[in-house]
Amino acid sequence: MRVLLLHPEDVPLRGESTRSHWDLIVDLGFAGASVYEEWSRQAGSRVISLHQFSSQESFRWVKRGLVAGQGRLLDRMGLDWWEILAPCGYQEQHSLYLLEQLRRELGPGPVELVATRAHSHVRLLSLVTGWPVRTLAAESNRPSFIARVVAAAQDLRPSQMVEIAFDKWDPRYRLRKRIAKHRRVQLRESVVLLPTAYSNVTRTVLAYAAQLPDRRFLLATTRRSGETSDLPANVVSVPLSAYAETSGDTKIETAEMLEAWSALQTELGQTDELRQRIQAGVWNYITPQLEVGLRLRDAWHFLMSSEPVSGVLCGDDLNYHTRLPLILAKSMGRRAVYCSHGALDGGLLFKKSYADLHLVKGEMERDYMLEVSDIKPEQVEIAAPAEDRSGAERAGFADSALAEIVFFSQPYEVVGGRGGEIYREIVRPLVAVARELNRKVIVKLHPFESVRGRTRLLKSFLSADEFERVQVSRAPASEILPRTLLGIGLDSSVAVECAQREIPYFMCGWLDFNGFGYMRQFARFRVGMWLNTPDEILSIPQRLADFVPDRSRIRRFWQPTDQQRLDQLLFGTSGVLTSTKCAS
């Protein structure tokens, strides 16, 4: 059996791979079924995606492997650094699961494996199967490191390049602490700490803070992308770097932790289920991250000790930079509350929850949380922030010439998606719909995408006339949604924002590859309308005409709590946290 492993930036119809017959072509990325059907016809070979093996079970497999190391890498404060850092490599561990499923698909052999070029999955597959993999494109044919850096930089804004530079060369805040030390706030009144690293997290936690104008909150940012100039009057913002300190004790502790980590790796390598992960190096990042993590721990601990922090409201507990204060809150006897910044949190399939209380936005999120995690029902409270009604009143708006079709894009390539193929499948028929409805298509970019890069991609397959109907925008969703006729995309939480505003949202179900089950949950609670194929995009005008808003269903996925109850949850006595009350 001859198998071609297709790099996500390659197609099976070019180069040396076209001169051979393949029994199977495996795309290491993902695209829609119609792409693989077309490639199968042209190549005369079956084409599948590695990501078709992804499921909720694949992430539960990751979790089972993580349990073995818990409680074995404790620091002087009692924090478990295996549990803090090991889940951060979930994507590489998940890849091992997918490759094991592929090995079973291939059977016992003999199998000849050939890759179009080097890729992390190629190396891992050789490890999983024990079979050698021949690579068609030599490493020397790749652009130089400098050339790749220059190419990547062309798609970044100056502010992004500065932030990346700080993240890479100043992770311990050695430079930034000198710049920011004077910004310590020295508060006197009790506050709830709001840790954040990204704008989406900031937006979520500030929505809760704005609902309690008589209470005080401290927004602490680990990087510039978490900062905002649009602060409620009751919120003070400070960079975490202002509280970073140099400590010789931490340097000694780092050496002790590295020695303990070396011993733990040896021990984990004796376990059949974990040996392969150790050999694959999926946790090699832990060594350099231990000192960074301990320095961040010290900064958070100093902030929480020197400022009157009564509790923490965390909006992202997978990123360990913002997970640390949640863990510290629990160890310091402070209130530890979690609210996912997304519509749903698939990370609960494999990460440990440290929160005493989880705020969810509605029955949809509560149902998903209890299904995928071992969190107890009494630890979950339906308490969405107050609904943002700006732009939500839509009477007569659908007939306005200002209302546009919005494609809510994502950085698909980051998770293995084929951005070019995904864009072609969605945007080309969407332009035809826009022409029929006499509208424009706004491509609303994710913060990690660039206008230049996506514009270049669109021009590569759209005619000049088609491109005239497209506008690429970096504007925030709050500005885009008021002029949205309909939305389309994958499993973004913007589907919920559209549904709140009675905006029809169409989900590209044929691209549901992430394994978390988000889109199925959205469809089950009627947050959006499911599209099975790209061709069904052309049916949108008729489905739009048949769309009937139903505000009663919104309560199932967005149910705000009252001000008094939210005050109890964030500032009240600890007895509130054991309450069995759950809104329904």
Q: Do 413 and 432 fall within a single domain? A: yes
* pLDDT above 60 (res 169): no
Mean of the pLDDT values across residues 480-487? 94
Residue 376 in this model has a pLDDT that exceeds 80: yes
**Is residue 186 domain-shared with residue 300, that is, in the same domain?**
yes
> Rounded to whole angstroms, what are the CA distances from 209 to 192, 213, 235, 236, 329?
9, 7, 7, 11, 18
- Shared domain for 349 and 422, answered yes or no, is no
Residues 377 and 490 in one domain: no
pLDDT digits (tens, 9 = 90+) for 191-203: 999 999 998 899 9
On whether residue 158 sits in a domain, the answer given is no
Q: Are residues 295 and 373 in the same domain?
A: yes
Q: Both 503 and 360 in a single domain?
A: no
> Could you tell me if 273 and 414 lie in one domain?
no
Checking if the pLDDT of 13 tops 90, the result is: no
CB-CB contact of 54 with 33 (8 Å): no
Q: Both 468 and 515 in a single domain?
A: yes
Check residue 395 and give its pLDDT: 39
Query: For the chain, how long is the longest CA-to-CA vector?
Result: 73
With tokens 């072609």, the residue in question is 424
Distance between alpha carbon 268 and the CA centroid of its chain, in Å? 28
* Number of separate helices (H) and strands (E) present in the chain: 23, 18
Task: Assess whether 21 and 41 both reside in one domain.
Answer: yes
Categorize the per-residue pLDDT at 492 as very low, low, confident or very high, splitting at 50, 70 and 90: confident
Looking at the fold, whether 372 and 445 belong to one and the same domain comes out as no
Q: Has residue 148 been placed in a domain?
A: no
Range from 278-282, 342-346, 502-506, 571-575 carrying the lowest mean pLDDT: 571-575
Output the pLDDT for position 366: 98
pLDDT value at 497 more than 80: yes
Mean of per-residue pLDDT scores for the chain: 88
Q: What is the mean pLDDT of residues 362-375?
A: 97
Closest CA relative to residue 493, chosen from 472, 514, 522, 515: 522
* Rg for the chain, CA atoms, rounded: 25
**Within a 13 Å sphere around the CA of 388, how many CA atoms are in the beta-carbon half?**
17
Residue 390's pLDDT is: 44
36 belongs to a structural domain: yes
Spatial separation of the C-alpha atoms in residues 113 and 1, rounded to whole Å: 9
- Whether residue 421 is found in the same domain as residue 323: no
Domain count, the chain: 3
Residue 156 lies in a domain: no
Nearest to 515, CA basis, from 275, 281, 350: 350
Q: What is the pTM of this model?
A: 0.88
Q: What is the CATH number of the domain that holds 543?
A: 3.40.50.2000
303: containing domain: 58-98+171-387+565-570+577-584
Tally of CB atoms within 10 A around 495: 27
State how far the Cα of 122 lies from the Cα of 371, in Å rounded to an integer: 34
152 within a domain of the structure (yes/no): no
Asked if the bond preceding 534 is cis, omega within 30° of 0, the reply is: no
Q: Are strands 441-444 and 484-489 parallel, antiparallel or unpaired?
A: unpaired
Question: Does residue 392 sit within a domain?
Answer: no
Residue 6, pLDDT > 50, answer yes
pLDDT band at residue 447 under the 50/70/90 scheme: confident
The Cα-based distances of 278 to 4, 121, 256, 273, 353 in angstroms read 27, 15, 21, 10, 24
- The residues with which 487 forms a beta bridge, in sequence order, are 406, 505
- Please indicate, yes or no, if residue 338 is contained in any of the structural domains: yes
* 197 part of a folded domain: yes
State the CATH number of the domain containing residue 197. Answer: 3.40.50
Token look-up 């780092």 returns 254
Q: Which residues contact 420 (CB under 8 A, 6 or more apart)?
A: 457, 460, 461
Kindly report, residue by residue over 287-346, the tens digit of the pLDDT. Answer: 999 999 999 999 999 999 999 999 999 999 999 999 999 999 999 999 999 999 999 999
Which tokens go with 246? 């140099």
H helical segments located in 501-539: 518-524
HEC profile of 358-411: EEECCHHHHHHHHHHCCCCHHHEEECECCCCCCCCCCCCHHHCCCCEEEEECCC
Q: Identify the band that residue 477 occupies on the pLDDT scale cut at 50, 70 and 90.
A: confident
State how far the Cα of 270 lies from the Cα of 44, in Å rounded to an integer.
44
Measuring CA to CA, how many Å separate 465 from each of 431, 462, 493, 539, 540? Answer: 10, 8, 32, 22, 21
Burial 209-240 (b: 16+ CB within 10 A, else e): bbbbeebbbbbbbbbebbeeeebeeebbbbbb
Mean pLDDT of 372-398: 74
Specify whether 315 is located in the same domain as 298. yes
Name the amino acid, one letter, at 77.
M
